[in-house]
Amino acid sequence: MNAGFVEVADRVHVLREPLLRVNVTLVVGDDEALLVDTLSSAAQATVLATAVRAVTDRPLTLVNTHHHYDHCFGNAVLAGDPPRPVYAHELAAAALRAEPERLRREAYEEVRTEHPALAAELADTPLLAPTHTVQIETSLDLGGRRVLLRHPGRGHTEADLVVHVPDADVLIAGDLVEQSGPPAFEDSYPLRWPDAVADLLRLTTARTVVVPGHGDPVDVEFVRAQHAELVRLAWLIRAAHTGSAPPERVAAEAPFGARAALIAAHRGYAELDGEA
């Protein structure tokens, strides 16, 4: 990984990891800096730490937007020694604390075919659970700069956090918003995801820069368009379930492509059947 940070707003810097196009955001205050997400492995996080120090020497506070490996497996490198605060939603923190080996195994299986080198790194990466939890909303003071951590409801996972930097008009959305590919529905709540995106849209203005979990920063119109697609997907899932149609019917008609829509349909049916 040889990417560096790019400033997208006043003292808000974004680094895109090139393999999976994961975004890491660095928000610099007068006293501290906030690092949002920590990448997939100890090796990636070591390079990330060097990139952070090229921007600022302020002490770090970390945020994990959710508990998927590509957003939090670098915690131990960046916050383990010396210990630094790591914030996440309470359910994401619980998963990392109680089930690290399951999460590592699932991550390994996900990447081992297409990215064997990364899979090997995952096997040797120590995991560090978040030290501070958020239930609905928490405000942090970085010194002359306030940031808001908010759980907008279930969407990409049950434990998503967004980070709002109001003085710079930046919203860090994690995987609730995706630019470089379709949303990932494997752990999702597709019937509730539109409400989560509507909640984060309430934090935006016409000029807000939105940093998605993967891909290029986007504007509010992009997010509104993705919200409309999520609304349509949820409607199709409900209609097909009511009509006892197979999930494949949803996949044939829904946005985001057949594979993603099929996964979403199965997840949505599980929600409607009380299994998710």
Contact 159, 149 (CB under 8 A): no
Q: Tell me whether residue 266 is exposed, middle or buried, using C-beta atoms within 10 angstroms of its C-beta: 0 to 12, 13 to 18, 19 or more.
A: middle
Task: Kindly report, residue by residue over 132-171, the tens digit of the pLDDT.
Answer: 999 999 999 999 999 999 999 999 999 999 999 999 999 9
Q: What percent of the chain has pLDDT over 70?
A: 99
6-219: in CATH 2.130.10.10? no
Give the strand pairing for 162-165 and 33-36: unpaired
Q: Residue 5 is encoded by which pair of tokens?
A: 């940070």
pLDDT of 196-244, one tens digit each?
999 999 999 999 999 999 999 999 999 999 999 999 999 999 999 999 9
138-153 residues labelled b (16+ CB within 10 A) or e (exposed) = bebebeebebbbbbbb
Residue whose token pair is 């939890």: 133
State residue 29's pLDDT score. Answer: 98
Amino acid present at 231: V
SS3 of residue 12 by DSSP: strand
User: By the 8 A CB rule, do 223 and 206 touch?
Assistant: no
Q: How confident is the model at residue 2 (pLDDT cuts 50, 70, 90)?
A: low
Distance CA(218)–CA(210), nearest Å, equals 5
What three-state secondary structure class fits 89? strand
List strand residue ranges (DSSP E) for the chain, in order.
6-9, 12-16, 23-28, 33-36, 60-63, 86-89, 132-134, 137-141, 146-150, 162-165, 170-174, 209-212
H or E segment to which residue 27 belongs: strand 23-28
Task: Give the rounded percent of residues in the chain with a pLDDT score beyond 90.
Answer: 96
Task: Give the length of the chain.
Answer: 276
For residues 235 and 268, the answer to whether their CB atoms sit within 8 Å is: no
